[in-house]
Amino acid sequence: MTSPVTDFSELNRNRIEEKTMTTNTAHIEDVSYFDGDKAEAFEEKFVGALNAGALCLMASIGHRTGLFDVLDGMAPATSAGIAEASGLNERYVREWLGSMVTSGVIEIDPVAKTYVLPAEHASMLTRAATPNNIAVFAQYIPLLGSVEDDIVECFKNGGGVPYDRFHRFHDVMAEDSGQSVLPALREYILPLIPGIMQRLEDGISVMDLGCGRGRALNMMAGWYPNSTFVGFDLSEDAIAYARADAERAGHRNISFEVRNLQSFDTDAPEAMFDFVTTFDAIHDQPNPRGMLKGIRRAMKEDGVYLAQDINASSHHHGDMDHPIGPLLYTISCMHCMTVSLAQDGEGLGAMWGREQAAEIMDEAGFGHVEVHELSHDIQNAYYVCRA
Ligand SMILES: C[S@@+](CC[C@H](N)C(=O)[O-])C[C@H]1O[C@@H](n2cnc3c(N)ncnc32)[C@H](O)[C@@H]1O
């Protein structure tokens, strides 16, 4: 865990970096110059991208069919043996193995025609490897691909692709936050707010907005029976799922409501909550500024708001070294930004970045904002906001 970047002093550094970059761009102005080595390096990079994209499709299938889990710790086996153990069709399993072997994920004994998933690779690809299961994130590639036609239409005519076109969104999102939020909630995330765990033990009132399937909130409701919890989300399916989970767990201190947060700036209750959370749920709102104003209004004077949201710069050039920049801009364009635009929203996008977050949080009336990064989570920043 790094120390918090308080009062957005980092912004000045970014402004200085921006100035430096504008003085170093002469080389991109001579557009007729052709560098053969540069072309060759780019070709290699792009062919790698074709293979990586294809691997993500197959990794997603390996996750969804349970093939990676079956192979975890399994002795070298033929395609028929693997198909039998997984209850899947051998011809498909064999072709999938071809993709995995040529990608270097699975190893083959060419004489015995047997396959093995090395333990080092299994440690990042199986359900047992949670929270380090990267195959979970591979699912975003086919999920986004499923709306490509709609997105191409939007490029031509504007507008957005609504949530209901993304058939598996809440499945994948719940698995994503199941890795980035749930396992770290008590050990790393809540401790970012000194004293909050004690207050939760004693009994406070908590609200989570854009709660999706409500897994984080249900988890806290189980840990802190003296506190009361409410979760809001637009999705009826996600809320039904969250309620069913709460019922199964026997929680009496939690409720979930289907609610459109578009006009939360005006219809939020006044000074009701001690603790408000949003997990990855600001940037794809239709009215993120209004939602933040509503949160400020709904918070008690000594309340605290914790926002987990994508960690990025607000500038393309500021994300050149982002470890998953291309992935996040793609998810933004083909999901986060477009679902907001589909609700006639602002279309802030996942890569709205720390600088814009500073402005919008300030505009909403949060006078004190700390930004934290946590080492388990390369995707998100954690904002701790107070009046
Ligand atoms: C990226 S997901 C995050 C879900 C959840 N917090 C998690 O971490 O798993 C964003 C959530 O915002 C919800 N959302 C989008 N637009 C909304 C709106 N207008 N009102 C309420 N919720 C909305 C979506 O249904 C979705 O569940």
Nearest CA to ligand 1 atom 4: 212
Q: Of 97, 127, 157, which residue constitutes the final position of a domain?
A: 127
> Is the separation of the CB atoms in 250 and 225 below 8 Å?
no
pLDDT of residue 24: 58
C-alpha 208/C-alpha 237 separation (Å) is 17
Residue with tokens 């550094």: 13
Same domain, 176 and 78: no
The CATH code of the domain that includes 232 is 3.40.50.150
Report how many domains make up the chain. 2
> Is the separation of the CB atoms in 166 and 146 below 8 Å?
yes
Mean pLDDT over 204-219 rounds to 98
> Is 311 among the domain residues?
yes
Share of the chain above pLDDT 70, in %: 93
User: How does 23-32 read in b/e, with b if 16+ C-beta sit within 10 Å?
Assistant: eeeeeeeeee
Instruction: Indicate if the pLDDT at residue 9 is higher than 70.
Output: no
Cβ–ligand 1 contact at 265 (below 6 Å): no
> Is 356 among the domain residues?
yes
**Closest atom, ligand 1, to C-alpha of 235:** 25
> Is the separation of the CB atoms in 342 and 350 below 8 Å?
no
pLDDT of residue 17: 52
Same domain, 228 and 374: yes
pLDDT of residue 154: 98
> Is 318 among the domain residues?
yes
Same domain, 107 and 190: no
Same domain, 110 and 208: no
Instruction: Indicate if the pLDDT at residue 18 is higher than 60.
Output: no
Residue 346: pLDDT band by 50, 70, 90 thresholds? very high
Same domain, 113 and 251: no
Q: Of 127, 161, 184, which residue constitutes the final position of a domain?
A: 127
Cβ–ligand 1 contact at 77 (below 6 Å): no
Same domain, 114 and 173: no
**Closest atom, ligand 1, to C-alpha of 208:** 6
Same domain, 113 and 163: no
Mean pLDDT over 295-324 rounds to 97
Mean pLDDT over 71-85 rounds to 98
> Is 224 among the domain residues?
yes
Q: Of 60, 94, 127, which residue constitutes the final position of a domain?
A: 127
Nearest CA to ligand 1 atom 15: 285
Residue 370 CA, ligand 1 centroid: distance in Å: 23
Mean pLDDT over 305-333 rounds to 97
> Is 133 among the domain residues?
no
Cβ–ligand 1 contact at 103 (below 6 Å): no
Range scoring the smallest mean pLDDT among 1-10, 184-193, 344-353: 1-10
Residue 242: pLDDT band by 50, 70, 90 thresholds? very high
Same domain, 64 and 195: no
Chain centroid to CA 206: 22
pLDDT of residue 29: 72
pLDDT of residue 26: 58
The pTM of the full predicted model, rounded to 2 decimals, is 0.92
Same domain, 123 and 206: no
Which residues is 370 bridged to in the sheet?
Answer: 6, 384
Residue 16: pLDDT band by 50, 70, 90 thresholds? very low
Mean pLDDT over 218-229 rounds to 98
The CATH code of the domain that includes 101 is 1.10.10.10
Instruction: Indicate if the pLDDT at residue 165 is higher than 50.
Output: yes
The per-residue pLDDT for range 124-159, each reduced to its tens digit, is 999 999 999 999 999 999 999 999 999 999 999 999
Same domain, 267 and 217: yes
Residue 169: pLDDT band by 50, 70, 90 thresholds? very high
> Is the separation of the CB atoms in 253 and 228 below 8 Å?
yes
Cβ–ligand 1 contact at 346 (below 6 Å): no
Instruction: Indicate if the pLDDT at residue 121 is higher than 70.
Output: yes
Same domain, 321 and 269: yes
Q: Which of 144, 173, 336 to mutate for ligand 1's pocket (most ligand atoms within 8 Å of CB)? A: 173
Residue 156 CA, ligand 1 centroid: distance in Å: 26
Count of CB atoms within 10 A of residue 163's CB? 18
Q: Indicate the average pLDDT of the chain.
A: 94
Cβ–ligand 1 contact at 264 (below 6 Å): no
Cβ–ligand 1 contact at 65 (below 6 Å): no
**Interior CA angle at 332 toward 327 and 333, to 5°?**
100
Residue 84 CA, ligand 1 centroid: distance in Å: 39
pLDDT of residue 30: 80
Cβ–ligand 1 contact at 229 (below 6 Å): no
Cβ–ligand 1 contact at 284 (below 6 Å): yes
pLDDT of residue 13: 46
C-alpha 319/C-alpha 72 separation (Å) is 36
Share of the chain above pLDDT 90, in %: 91
pLDDT of residue 361: 98
C-alpha 305/C-alpha 272 separation (Å) is 13
Residue 178 CA, ligand 1 centroid: distance in Å: 15
Q: Which domain holds residue 341?
A: 148-386
> Is 23 among the domain residues?
no
> Is 5 among the domain residues?
no
Same domain, 120 and 254: no
Mean pLDDT over 32-51 rounds to 96
> Is 75 among the domain residues?
yes
